[in-house]
Amino acid sequence: MLFNSFEYAIFLPLVFIIYWKVCKTTQHQNLLIFLVSYLFYGMWDWRFLFLLTATTLFDFSMALFIQKETNEKKRKQMVIISVVINLISLGYFKYFNFFIDSFLDMAHSMGFNPSIHTLKIILPVGISFYTFHSLSYIFDVYRRDYIASRNIVNFLSFVSFFPLLVAGPIERAAHLLPQIEKERKFSYRLSVIGLRLILWGLFKKMVIADNAAIYVDSIFNDYAESSGSTLILGVIYFAIQIYGDFSGYSDIALGSAYLFGFEVLRNFNFPYFSRDIAEFWRRWHISLSSWFRDYLYIPLGGSKGGLTMAIRNTMIIFLVSGFWHGANWTYIFWGALNALYFLPLLIFGKNRQNLEIVAKGKLLPGIRDIFAMLTTFGLTCFAWIFFRSPTLDFAFNYINGMLNWSTFTMPLSREFIPLMAIFILLEWIGRERLDVLCFKNVWIRRASYVLVAFSVLVLTPKVESVFIYFQF
Amino acid sequence: MKLLLKKVLLFSAIVIVLNIWFSDLLFQKYRNWEKLGVYFDPMRMQEFNALESNKVNTIILGSSHAYRSYNPFLMDSLVPGIKTFNLGSSGQTYRTSFALLEYALAKQASIKTVILDVYFLSLFEKEQLNNGLHNYLHLDGFEHKFRFYKDAFTFREQMLVLLFPSYVYRGNFNYWLNNCLGRKQEKLPKGEYFGYGFVSSYDHSTPKTYTQKDVFTGYIFKPELIHEPNLIYLNKLVNLCSQKGIRLVFCATPLPIGSINKMKDLNEIKKYYSEMKSTYKAEFLDYSFSNELNFTDTIHFYDNNHLNRIGADLFTQEVLVKKVLSNK
């Protein structure tokens, strides 16, 4: 069931009404969340419910053992077992064929011809997200940030909470589980914010990302025949597509969670208005970046061991982040490239210079900010080429095609530019708010709801595409 | 919570009313089809609606393969007593074919033969809305229209057609916008409407047509991916014909060799067709992969998929006239 589907448009209000009107206790509400989340997930492929249940029950039990154990060495061993088991499951479904293929390529290049067959493995939707979701719980219990839950229904609801199950945001146990355990009261304010986020998320996905996808697909599929300027436009469109797609998804997820009284982590904070790469990564896929920071970068020593250690750890988290996205060298290269962008800032101690949103309280940015934003956007776009390409060769050929005299010609596929410009303008106006549609003037706000809803109806392309991050 | 629900309902009502009003503007494309001259559906349905009762005894159903390959004029002129109408429409699924047959029977109780084009890609087609709309928009009479609406569309599609017509007709937004901006609306017709539902063109494909990547490149037929409702409605169609004593003939039109060569495996399709023949115990003339008629890609085909006028006439004469209609 997709967030932008007719089924979800029936499912969400139905669950919302049952949740607030029929369920009289918190325990009933949690049971309902667990049941509808499993229904939501089972509609993709019910067979993977067993995997989800097994992962959840295993981590639930391990957390109780870790909690009970007082011997630090044994506690650590249990965490390692839990991490290994979770990563084996993730590795098998997501990376098995990648390792086999890479090994075969290497063997062939060395003159060997081993006969190993890859398997037909179906990737369970959302496995990267719920595995990290569940792992955060193990880490939080181990670090004594959170007391292991003894209520299996609460924990099942936490891992399978349907707004976050398929593509995040990746929640922390210490943040979400206490909300699941405590009594929740209907909040008008939270529900209105939730509905606004859902509406804006639908616009970003169905109007912006899906329209951009048409041009991106055609340019990338036909890159050898396109001019340099068209290829550049294709990458810019992809930057907008992936942002609209993933942040649109996250907004709908956030909005849906708000409707049930949960304040979950924000995943995007206007990343393309960043003035350097460090700021970009504080604003893009925030839940994953902070997950890696808290559970990988800091345990590895962070920057406590001096600059060399900070550089090493930064490289590690960017490479792992790239690999997390998928079993392909293009993602690893994308991660490495971002690490290379980041390192100069780290070395010169400039990685925390832009913490506030650009031009705060002002209508327009200064020349320096504009230049910094364009440079950051350019670097990000360059890295997106690798993310979008099926192979590294493809990416290099694409870049090659961008750099020639045809770069100075008028690009094709310009039809999307006006819509993109309106979108960027709206995001700019709303950059200091959680939800873009929260205009101060009540009539502007109401008109914006109708206009956005109307745009979703009329401007959605005939060919709809699935959310990009479902494949991760 | 009551306040929230009230506001959401009010907002939804405003959006629904506005979108119904706006859909009227989007709909003008259909009203202007004569000016544009490229829309075969209204021409076909208007002609069919205007026919006297019990005039037609043979109809053709199916996707673009149907309306481009079966020449009703030729059939009528070569076989005495035959009166044919081609009700093929773009992307027609078996569900649409079934609903259309019901409509055709309500209008023409004299139908005695149905030729159903069974293009294998139709089996996988999930999209029902647009191919249903090609016909629904131009049907006659509320009762018939309602029946088609009920049978041809899924619940989701019924709701969309009823409540969100702007979404349903959103493909016409560009037309509306260009009209407002005073831009010229030009679209080259993909053939000519000859009448009785028959569309064709004397243009032919070129060798380059078959070097490009298309739907046939590396195609593998996977029966497990067949959209189940298509089979359910194929069954209903077969049953309806049998109840009414109508002769049903399955027919698959030829594909260009250039496209066939691009496909990875034909055995699975052939196997499926042969199973289809025995399951439905139907007459089945499968010409999709055999070149019995000695067709040449660049002479008899309009593009990588469809016959042109020369091909359609030859196919109609050699197959429909000689093997179907003269062989009752």
**Chain B contacts of A459, Cβ < 8 Å?**
170, 173
Element (H, E) at A259: helix A228-259
Position A428: which residue type? W
Q: Which residues does chain A have within 8 Å of residue B27's beta carbon, measured at their own beta carbons?
A: none
Tabulate helix, strand, coil % of chain A (nearest 5).
70, 0, 30
Spatial separation of the C-alpha atoms in residues A214 and B157, rounded to whole Å: 24
What whole-number distance in Å separates Cα of residue A260 and Cα of residue A180?
Answer: 10
At position B298, the amino acid (one-letter code) is: T
Least CB-CB distance to A457: which of B130, B164, B171?
Answer: B164
Average pLDDT over residues A73-79: 93
A457 contact residues in B (CB cutoff 8 A): 15, 19, 164, 166-167, 170
Are the C-beta atoms of A3 and A165 separated by less than 8 Å? no
pLDDT confidence bin for A126, thresholds 50/70/90: confident
**What whole-number distance in Å separates Cα of residue A127 and Cα of residue A396?**
30
What backbone torsions phi and psi does residue A297 show, to the nearest 5 degrees? -60, -50
Nearest to B170 among A6, A186, A457 (CB): A457
3-state secondary structure chain B: CHHHHHHHHHHHHHHHHHHHHHHHHHCHHHHCHHHHCCCHHHHHHHHHHHCCCCCCCEEEECCHHHHHHCCHHHHHHHCCCCCEEECCCCCCCHHHHHHHHHHHHHHCCCCCEEEEECCHHHHHCCCCHHHHHHHHCCCCCHHHHHHHHHHHCCHHHHHHHHHCHHHHCHHHHHHHHHHHCCCCCCCCCCCEEEECCEEECCCCCCHHHHCCCCCCCCCECCHHHCCHHHHHHHHHHHHHHHHHCCEEEEEECCCCHHHHCCCCECHHHHHHHHHHHHHHCCEEEECCCCCCCCCCHHHHECCCCCECHHHHHHHHHHHHHHHHHCCC
How far apart, in whole angstroms, are the C-alpha atoms of residue B120 and residue B136? Answer: 24
Q: If you measure CA to CA, which chain A residue comes closest to B167?
A: A457
Distance, in Å, from the CA atom of A276 to the CA atom of A354, rounded to the nearest integer, reads 8
Confidence of residue A89 (pLDDT cuts 50, 70, 90): confident
DSSP A402-458: HSSGGGGSPPS-GGGHHHHHHHHHHHHHTTTSSSTT--SSHHHHHHHHHHHHHHHHH
Q: For residues A378 and A304, what is the distance between their CA atoms, to the nearest angstrom?
A: 32
Tell me, rounded to whole angstroms, the distance of Cα A51 from its chain centroid: 22
Cβ-based contacts of B171 with chain A (< 8 Å): 462
Question: What is the per-residue burial (b if ≥16 Cβ within 10 Å, else e) of A199-218?
Answer: bbbbbbbbbbbbbbbbbbbb
Please give the distance of CA A100 from its chain centroid, rounded to a whole number: 27
Helix, strand or coil for residue A335? helix
Chain B (93-132) residues lying within 8 Å, Cβ to Cβ, of chain A? 130
Nearby residues of B87 by Cβ (< 8 Å), 6 or more positions away: B44, B48, B59, B60, B61, B66, B100, B104, B135, B197
pLDDT digits (tens, 9 = 90+) for A335-360: 999 999 999 999 998 888 888 888 88
CB B84, CB B56: distance < 8 Å: yes
Contact flag B170-A453 (C-beta cutoff 8 Å): no
What pLDDT is recorded for position A198? 96
Confidence of residue A410 (pLDDT cuts 50, 70, 90): confident
Asked if pLDDT for residue A134 goes beyond 80, the answer is yes
pLDDT digits (tens, 9 = 90+) for A269-284: 999 999 999 999 999 9
- The gap from C-alpha A246 to its chain's centroid, in whole angstroms, comes to 6
Which chain A residues are Cβ-neighbours of B8 within 8 angstroms? Answer: 195
Cα gap B63→B215, rounded to integer Å: 16
Q: Compute how many other C-beta atoms are within 10 angstroms of the C-beta atom of residue B233.
A: 20
- Chain B CA closest to residue A457: B167
Residue of A45, A214, A458 to mutate when probing chain B, most B C-beta within 10 A: A458
* β partners of residue B285: B251
- Report the candidate in A402, A405, A385, A381 with the shortest Cα–Cα distance to residue A394: A385
DSSP summary character for residue A391: S
- In chain B, positions 10-69, which contact chain A (CB-CB < 8 Å)? 11, 14-15, 18-19, 22, 26
- pLDDT > 70? residue A289: yes
Give residue for tokens 């011997």. Answer: A71
Region A442-471: what's the mean pLDDT? 84
**Interchain CB distance below 8 Å, B1 and A188:** yes
**B315, B318, B320: which is closest to B300 by C-alpha?**
B315
Q: What is the mean pLDDT of residues A179-208?
A: 94
Q: Where is pLDDT greater, at A451 or B42? A: A451
pLDDT at A44: 82
Predicted pLDDT of residue A120? 61
pLDDT at residue A39 is higher than 90: yes
Cross-strand partners of B301: B307
**Residue ranges of A 6-35 with Cβ closer than 8 A to chain B:** 6-7, 20-21
Separation of alpha carbons B262 and B219, rounded Å: 7
Residues B200, A289: Cα–Cα separation, whole Å = 58
Neighbours of B218 (CB within 10 A): 10
CB pairs under 8 A between A and B: 46
Q: What is the pLDDT of residue B320?
A: 80
CA distances from A323 to A90, A99, A178 (A): 12, 12, 31
For B:173-202, CB contacts with A below 8 A are 173
pLDDT of residue A47 exceeding 90, the answer is no
Distance between CA B282 and CA B117 in Å, rounded? Answer: 13
Q: Residue A470 — very low, low, confident or very high, per pLDDT cuts 50/70/90?
A: low
> Phi and psi at residue B138, in whole multiples of 5°?
-115, 15
Shortest CA distance to A239 belongs to which of A264, A265, A274?
Answer: A274
- Residue A357 is given by DSSP the state P
Residues in chain B: 328
Give yes or no for residue A118 having a pLDDT over 60: no
**Each residue of A197-231: pLDDT tens digit?**
999 999 999 999 999 999 999 999 989 889 999 99
Asked if residue A169 has a cis previous peptide bond (ω within 30° of 0), the answer is yes
Phi-psi group of A365: left, alpha or beta (phi > 0 → left; psi -120 to 50 → alpha; rest → beta): beta
What is the model's pTM?
A: 0.85
Tell me if B170 and A458 make a contact (CB, 8 A cut-off).
yes
Which amino acid type is present at position B219?
Y
The amino acid at A342: F
- Residue of A195, A457, A466 to mutate for B, most B C-beta atoms under 10 A: A457
Q: What angle do CA A93, A98, A100 make, to 5 degrees?
A: 105
**Taking a C-beta distance cutoff of 8 angstroms, is the pair A55, A86 a contact?**
yes
| Interface residue A188 vs chain B (CB under 8 A) | yes
| The pLDDT of residue A174 is above 70 | yes
CA-based nearest distance A5→chain B, Å: 10
pLDDT at B327: 58
Average pLDDT over chain A, rounded to an integer = 90
Residue from A51, A55, A43 nearest A124 by CA: A51
CA-to-CA distance for A303 and A314, rounded, in angstroms?
Answer: 9
Side by side, which strands form the sheet with B58-61?
B84-86, B58-61, B113-117, B247-252, B283-286
What is the distance between the alpha carbons of residues B108 and B121, in angstroms, rounded to a whole number? 29
Cα–Cα distance measured from residue B122 to residue B231, given in angstroms and rounded to the nearest whole number: 10
From A20, A195, A454, residue closest to B15, measured CB to CB? A454
Q: For B165, which residue in chain A has the nearest alpha carbon?
A: A457
Q: How many helices (H) and strands (E) does chain A have?
A: 19, 0
- Record the tokens describing residue A330, joined without a space: 């293009």
Pair of tokens at residue B20: 């119904």
Taking phi over 0 as left and psi of -120 to 50 as alpha, with beta for the rest, A164 belongs to alpha
Provide ipTM, 2 decimals: 0.78
Distance between CA atoms of residues B300 and B293, nearest Å: 10
Chain A residue numbers with beta carbons less than 8 Å from the beta carbon of B14 are: 450
> What single-letter amino acid sits at B246?
I
- What confidence tier does A472 reach under pLDDT thresholds 50, 70, 90? low
Contacts of B1 in chain A (CB under 8 A): 20-21, 186, 188, 191
Q: Of B42, B44, B45, B15, nearest to B30 (Cα)?
A: B42
* A307-332 per-position pLDDT tens digit: 889 999 999 999 999 988 877 899 99
DSSP helix/strand/coil, A201: helix
- Residue A459: Cβ-neighbour burial (10 angstroms; 0-12, 13-18, 19+): middle
Distance between CA atoms of residues A339 and A98, nearest Å: 23
pLDDT of chain B, 328 residues: tens digit per residue:
889 999 999 999 999 999 998 888 877 666 666 555 546 888 899 999 999 988 999 999 999 999 999 999 999 998 888 899 999 998 899 999 999 999 999 999 999 999 999 998 888 888 788 888 888 988 988 999 999 999 999 998 999 999 998 888 887 887 777 777 777 766 666 788 899 999 998 999 998 888 888 888 888 888 888 899 899 999 999 999 999 999 999 999 999 999 999 888 888 888 888 888 888 888 888 888 877 888 898 999 999 999 999 999 999 988 887 777 765 5
- Asked if pLDDT for residue A117 goes beyond 80, the answer is no
Q: Which residues of A are catalytic?
A: 325
